[in-house]
Amino acid sequence: DSGVTQTPKHLITATGQRVTLRCSPRSGDLSVYWYQQSLDQGLQFLIQYYNGEERAKGNILERFSAQQFPDLHSELNLSSLELGDSALYFCASSVGTGSSYEQYFGPGTRLTVT
Amino acid sequence: GQNIDQPTEMTATEGAIVQINCTYQTSGFNGLFWYQQHAGEAPTFLSYNVLDGLEEKGRFSSFLSRSKGYSYLLLKELQMKDSASYLCAVRDSNYQLIWGAGTKLIIKP
The pLDDT mean for chain B works out to 95
A39 vs A21, A57, A81, B56, CA distance in Å?
19, 22, 17, 32
Beta bridge partners of A48: A33, A56
Q: What 8-state DSSP symbol labels residue B104?
A: E
Instruction: Note whether A88 contacts B40, CB cutoff 8 Å.
Output: yes
For A40, the closest chain B residue by CA position comes to B39
pLDDT tens, position by position, B31-43: 999 999 999 899 9
Can you give the pLDDT at residue A74? Answer: 98
* Closest partner CB to B87 (pick from A2, A33, A43): A43
* Closest partner CB to A42 (pick from B45, B48, B100): B100
pLDDT tens, position by position, B8-19: 999 999 999 999
Contacts of B30 in chain A (CB under 8 A): 99
